[in-house]
Amino acid sequence: MRFNLRQANSGNLATIALGLCVAFLIAGQAAAQDSKNDTADKPEQSGPQPPPLVQVSPYLDLGFVVPDGYSQGVVTIMNDSEETIQILNAKGDCHCTTPVIQQMILEPGQSTDMVVGLNAPHLLGRIFKKVFITAAGYNTPFEVPFTAEVEHAILVNGGEGRSVIVDLSGSYKLESINKEPFRILFINGKKLTADDFANFDPESDDPRNFYEIQYDYTDLRKDELPRWIVIETDRPNTKMFEFPAFFKEALKFPHSENWWPVPDVLVNPSIEAGAWTPMEIVMSGNLPKPGDSVGITPSNPDLAVRIKNVGLPDTGPGMRIDFEVKPRWGYEGFISSALNFEMGENYAVVEFFSRVRPYEGGADAPAVNGLLEPKPR
């Protein structure tokens, strides 16, 4: 299928005409639902109950997993019957779970290990997942539940639901999960001084594994109040992360009643000036109507956006939008922008944060109108 991809002539608006992809999205959603209803992660064999398996290892808790990170654990299951059990497959309740069973045929009393892998989502919090094990002769799967806590390697106020601030002034705590020391480099693009810390001077004190950050936003206008606190550190796996600021005084971004982004914030620790960086987002709710087009308009004039593709997400309902962002040539440092998404009468806003590094094309940057500009990528 061919999309009519174009960059608008005015401003930084990027649009894509959907055309036939409307039918593709609707048909794809229906097919995915039919497939889900047909299989439902259950075997096709007849049988009155799940296979007589038992989990002989403790309940699997993968502990802390960083957003978009990977972790795995091992579960041991045993044949608790007097008959041979032939395992057909093991599937997770989402594509983020990848189970692998070591042995597919279990004699009475025999056990085997199953490696359970998890590709953690970006959203923070405790998650509960299941693996379904199907066996020949049984029409109901054996279920293996497990859990994990999706958190950054640096906890905010102890993690879980406490990773938020609601008052215009106060303090919050940042703590390393593994107790290793780290440095806080920037918060919302601002370099910190001793006044931002409680009992710590970044110029003279050694790095710690715990900090208390003091803040005061009472002098800011409603449209200046942050909705996200973006932390930059020297930790390789936590160079940049965010947590929400729920200030009742802050300006709220509007969105359509039944069209919302997943996630509603995009963070990329490092992008290159003058070069396109791929991004993606899923819009849940309303699907496009014939004649609709999708558009993205950045609020920051130093950031360009172009849409590459619109299609179905890997899992679940909605519409996936693949797009690219590019800071202007010569820009360097922290960058933020509201990305205004539109589709017909639908609209939503996603906030974007990153740190821009210099263009790395070197001699590939030719002179255009007397100014150095990089070649298109």
Which CATH number is 320's domain given? 2.60.40
Which residue, of 118, 134, 150, is where some domain finishes?
Answer: 150
Is residue 70 in some structural domain?
Answer: yes
Which CATH number is 58's domain given? 2.60.40.10
Is residue 34 in some structural domain?
Answer: no
Q: Specify the pLDDT at position 206.
A: 93
Is residue 41 in some structural domain?
Answer: no
Q: Specify the pLDDT at position 367.
A: 44
Q: Specify the pLDDT at position 227.
A: 93
Q: Please check whether residues 144 and 234 belong to one and the same domain.
A: no
Q: Which domain holds residue 62?
A: 53-150
d(Cα 365, Cα 360) in Å, to the nearest integer? 9
Which residues of the chain have a pLDDT value below 70? 1-48, 160-161, 315-316, 362-377
Q: Please check whether residues 218 and 276 belong to one and the same domain.
A: no
Q: How many CB atoms lie within 10 A of CB 57?
A: 15
CA–CA distance from 96 to each of 44, 70, 87, 130, 153 (Å)? 24, 9, 22, 11, 20
73: amino acid identity, one letter: G
Q: Please check whether residues 94 and 184 belong to one and the same domain.
A: no
Q: Please check whether residues 90 and 163 belong to one and the same domain.
A: no
- Chain segment 21-30, per-residue pLDDT in tens: 554 455 555 5
Which DSSP state fits 245?
B
DSSP 185-238: EEETTEEP-GGGBSS--TTTSPPBSEEEEEEE-TTS-GGGS-SEEEEEES-GGG
Q: Please check whether residues 62 and 132 belong to one and the same domain.
A: yes
Q: Specify the pLDDT at position 370.
A: 38
Q: Please check whether residues 280 and 374 belong to one and the same domain.
A: yes
Is residue 306 in some structural domain?
Answer: yes
Q: Specify the pLDDT at position 371.
A: 41
Q: Please check whether residues 112 and 184 belong to one and the same domain.
A: no
Q: Please check whether residues 198 and 281 belong to one and the same domain.
A: no
Look at the chain and report how many structural domains it folds into: 3
Is residue 245 in some structural domain?
Answer: yes
d(Cα 175, Cα 166) in Å, to the nearest integer? 19
Is residue 7 in some structural domain?
Answer: yes
Q: Specify the pLDDT at position 17.
A: 56
Q: Specify the pLDDT at position 287.
A: 84
Q: How many CB atoms lie within 10 A of CB 248?
A: 9
Q: Specify the pLDDT at position 94.
A: 85
